[in-house]
A = this chain, B = another copy of it.
Amino acid sequence: MFDVFFTHVNEKVSLTIAEQEQLKTFFLPKKLRKKQYLLQEDDVCRYMAFVEKGLLRSYNVDDRGNEHMLQFAWEGWWIADTYSFLSEEPAAYNIDAIEDAELLLLSLPQFEEMTLQIPKMERYFRILFQNNIIAKERRLISSITYSAEEKYLRLSASNPELVQRIPQHLIASYLGITPETLSRIRKNLLHRQ
């Protein structure tokens, strides 16, 4: 249940066996079926979720009912509405499962307790936050700089697993284009080779 998590943490900070045992106590394991919600807009996001297995997404819904993908998370990723989690204000995003999933949930009190008791985890989360900022900056630049086709190509290049694993209409939404446009772009790319 904790395999992926420990592997992931040990890539950033190395844990002793004792620390690993202690770490386990902070989490609440949870399974989620495909299409099930982890979080709905306007609820407070009570947990950060680490994905041990499966695939989740976070997204918001605009006035016209269109969904806009914010993030995908599979094995080895965290997902939450960061703002809602830390501020305990209502969430702006929805989170649900694209594939059946096994999660490790971490509540805010447990999060704070964990970073106090195990300083390595403070460092781990700081690194995580930094990487998060950097990733969002890149995506932002990409979204204001490139055409639909270029955005798709860059995403494929930088994140082949995502393009393999995620349904096409969700990738379209992630890129800020319609499913039709993405379909045509892919047809075009195949054609040109």
Inter-chain contacts of A17 with B (CB < 8 A): none
Identify 15 residue pairs between A and B in the complex whose beta-carbon atoms are under 8 Å apart, listed by A's number: A68-B144, A70-B140, A82-B134, A82-B137, A83-B130, A83-B137, A126-B126, A129-B129, A133-B133, A140-B140, A143-B143, A143-B144, A143-B176, A144-B175, A144-B176
* Chain A 126-145 near chain B by CB (<8 Å), digits 1 or 0: 10011011101101110111
Stoichiometry, copies per complex:
2
* A interface list, Cβ under 8 A from B: 60, 62, 66, 68, 70, 82-83, 86, 126, 129-130, 132-134, 136-137, 139-141, 143-146, 173-176
- In Å, the complex CA distance between A133 and B131 comes to 10
Please tell me which one of the listed residues B62, B130, B136 contacts residue A145 in the complex, with CB atoms under 8 A apart. B62
- In Å, the complex CA distance between A144 and B133 comes to 18
Inter-chain contacts of A86 with B (CB < 8 A): 130
The answer to whether B136 touches A129 (Cβ under 8 A) is: no
Report the minimum CB–CB distance from A132 to chain B (whole Å).
6
Whether A143 contacts B145 in the complex (CB less than 8 A), given A86-B130, A130-B82, A132-B133, comes out as: no
Inter-chain contacts of A174 with B (CB < 8 A): 144
